[in-house]
Structure 1
Amino acid sequence: MLTTNRGISGLLADSGEARPRVSYRTDLVTALLGVWFGIGLMIDAWAHSNLAELETFFTPWHAAFYSGFAAVSGWIMWQVLRNVRTGRRGVAAVPVGYLAGLLAIPGFALFGLADMTWHTVLGIEQNIDILFSPSHLGLVATMALIISTPVRSAWSGLGTRPTLGQLVPALISLAFATTLVSLFLSYGDALQWSAEGIVRVFSDVEGGAAGDLASSMVITNVVLLAPALLLARRWELPFGAITLLYAVIVLMPGAQEQFENVSTLLSIVAGGLVADLLIRWLRPSASRRGAFWAFAALSALATWTIYVLTASAISGLPAVPELWTGAPIVAGLIGLLLGVLFLPNNVRHEAAA
């Protein structure tokens, strides 16, 4: 027993070297395995939203989800083990950006066990209660740390002007992490609305449905814009970065609605394209505060204007002009406030290590 304890202590004791960095290929594999993990969750979310009878924890949907966890976790642990074999110990064996994901792995496993116990004792949730289950909240928090690993790896490893190809692992992983937020705020997700529903509720100020949609637009605006501003604060983004980000983010609400809301989803992707055009024009960065603020406001305004106009083109113009004209302006103002919060002062970009 004493020998075992010494062996564990020897592995955990830091050997003192500077932490290594992984290659682009390694980050890309981590991101792609995170896609498996994320799509597994989307399949499971679809099943909970659309299948009437789910009576057991052991389903094909959970198998897709947890196999993704096993794949990406095994890959992260392998990166650490490779460094241990070279003589590194403790934190010195963990690549830059990979520590939080590594620590989240046992946490996710414990929450998975808790989730199985919860379902066995209390049954399977299929309504809004699924979004408030303590075991589910623990799973999504630890999952976010795992699949966002390539973002943290790229944060200090890429220069301020990466190409789109160089940024792909970070974009994919951040986008899938954002889908987790989208999933657990589904009760306020404007992307789940159909064109017909948008026009119908913005044509009637009675009953509270218009307020529900307007509130959902506010929540979803923040969920979409926050990762875009995070990226723009760190890097001078290449064209296509926000389009790719938004194209991945819309997959979760699409899966939950069996992609019956495809016109709404496409309007958001179009908003991402406009955001990329604004980046090319304004060149927002951490050292260009005014351009950053303008990008935050204008990209939000454009995205939600396209959202409303797309619904109107399909189902007719809403009857209450204050709602369909004012809601995108509210989004733009919130975008401006987010821009101020993300970048209150000009800062100098750090040179890549």
Structure 2
Amino acid sequence: MSTPMALISKAGRVARPRIARAGSPAASSAFEWGVVAAGGWLMTGLYLDGWAHQHFQVETFFTAWHAVLYSGMAAAAALFGFTALSNHFSGYAWRRSLPLGYGLSLLAVLGFALAGGLDMAWHATFGFERSFAALISPPHLLLAGCGLIAAGGPLRSAWNRGKSVAGWPAIFAAIYLLSVITFFSQFVHPFNDPYALDVGPAGTVYAAEALGEISIVFQSAVLQSVVFLVLRRLQLPPGSLLLLLTINGFAMSAMKDHYRFALVGLLAGVVGEILLFSLRPTASRPSSLRVFGFAWPVALYALYFGAVGTLGGTWWSVPLWTGSIFLAGVAGLLASYCFFSPGVREHAPDPQ
């Protein structure tokens, strides 16, 4: 592969590249793990910023947490930009200079930079939001969307390559997808606000019961939707569900120091691995998909209420907390029907 430096003429002018290669370049292992590293850097900055907002009163745009967040995106931009430039000077057209699935990632990092400037102007105009408003302000939602698209490159690439088993870069992309969604829906996440323990920020008994119930059902649907999104095209390698819930569970529980729920994520990940191994859910095994869709959220929130019990027990009535566990399974079951309609065969092959 020719490098941009090698194409500078003796006169100091850059030689014009000749477009001689069809298609798109292959995604090397080093490149994909570089994207994973940049995505992890970005996610670390995102959750550090969330943790800081939960523990301190932030009154400036220029914080250490923002520095981690934006430097992570800068690292991603540098990786995509240099790779595109190198491939272009190796004979690929600009619009095909990144591996399949990564063109959107480059556009997303550019959008992230624009959204960052908008965010700074927004704060200068309207001040710094508090609580729920900080999550749903338009610049923050734009940043979330761009970050999600940028970090999702390995998953899109795996889909395009048509592999049977998801590689680990694709699994990390799925973890980042889940983590962006859970971060921006933290106001309805039981690891962040455990309303089964106390009324908390809900303020009233009715609100705490309603928000607690909604959070369990909503997050069950989100979790299973991310998993089924991967399963539509790819098989999950052993250990992927354990990694998914361990990382996401720790990140969500750490923001308000509910670290016991991180252990819930780890144990539920182990249960997910057992279910994945025993049921082998695929599009050609719809019954296994339905059982998995129902059983995994049930196990997760049974463990969750077990942890609540070790923290002093729940004030919820028995019908409420047991019904919440059941409805978590119903949400996962419905997600399976959304991604795998009856009678439809998807692309993911059966395990051999």
What is the TM-score with the length of structure 1 in the denominator? 0.87
1:62 paired with 2:66, answer: yes
Q: CA deviation at 1:282?
A: 0.6
Relative distance call for 1:347 and 1:272 in structure 2 (3 A) is: same
Corresponding residue number in structure 2 for 1:190: 190
Aligned partner of 1:211 in structure 2 is: 210
Distance 1:170 1:103 in 2: 19
The answer to whether structure 1 residue 264 and structure 2 residue 268 are counterparts is no
User: Are residues 333 and 113 of structure 1, via their aligned partners in 2, closer, same or farther at CA, if it must alter by over 3 Å?
Assistant: same
Amino acid across the alignment from 1:131: L
1:287 pairs with 2:291: no
Aligned residues: 330
Q: Deviations over 1:2-58 (max 9, x none)?
A: xxxxxxxx99x9977111221122111110111011101111112222212x22211
Q: Which amino acid aligns with 1:72?
A: A
Q: 1:106 aligns with which of 107, 110, 130?
A: 110
Is residue 330 from structure 1 mapped to residue 323 from structure 2 by the alignment?
no
- What amino acid does structure 1 have at the position aligned with 2:298? L
Question: What's the CA shift for 1:248?
Answer: 1.9
**Matched residue, 1:4:** none
Unaligned runs of 5+ in 2: 1-15
The equivalences for 1:8-47 within 5 A come to 17-47=22-52
Moved more, 229-238 or 334-343: 229-238
Residue correspondence of structure 1 range 149-298 to structure 2 within 5 A: 149-157=153-161, 159-161=163-165, 167-194=167-194, 197-200=195-198, 206-257=205-256, 260-298=257-295
Q: Distance in 1 between matches of 2:249 and 2:128?
A: 26
Q: RCO greater where, 1 or 2, for CA within 8 Å and sep 6 or more?
A: 1
Determine the C-alpha separation between the residues in 2 that align with 1:77 and 1:330: 46
Instruction: Give 2:345's aligned amino acid.
Output: V
Percent identical residues? 29
- Counterpart in the other structure of 2:13: none
* Residue of structure 2 in register with 1:7 after alignment: none
Give the distance between the partners of 2:316 and 2:293, measured in 1 at CA: 29
1:318 CA drift (Å): 4.9
Q: Closer, same or farther in 2 for the Cα pair 1:350/1:335, shift >3 Å?
A: closer
For 1:255 and 1:14, the matched residues in 2 are separated by 50
Q: Which amino acid aligns with 2:113?
A: A
* Runs of 4+ with >6 A deviation: 13-16
Distance 2:64 2:205 in 1: 43
Question: Cα–Cα, structure 1 residues 301 and 135, in superposed 2: closer, same or farther, change >3 Å?
Answer: same
Q: CA deviation at 1:215?
A: 0.8
Q: Give the distance between the partners of 2:287 and 2:262, measured in 1 at CA.
A: 30
Q: TM-score, normalised by structure 2?
A: 0.87
Query: Helix, strand or coil for the counterpart of 1:287?
Result: coil
Change (3 A) 1:144 1:332: same
C-alpha contact (below 8 Å) 1:48/1:125 kept by paired residues:
no
Distance 1:218 1:115, change over 3 A: same
Contact 1:293 / 1:339 at 8 angstroms: preserved in 2?
yes
Question: Unaligned 5+ residue runs, structure 1?
Answer: 1-9
Tell whether the 8 Å contact from 1:111 to 1:135 is kept in structure 2 after alignment: yes
Mapped to 1, the partners of 2:112 and 2:129 lie a distance apart of 19
Where 1:191 maps in the other structure, the secondary structure is coil
Distance apart, 1:251 and its partner CA: 3.7
AA at the equivalent of 1:209: A
Distance change in 2, residues 1:133/1:14 (3 Å)? farther
CA RMSD across the alignment: 2.4
Q: Deviations over 1:255-310 (max 9, x none)?
A: 421xx211122212211211110010011112211111111111111111111122
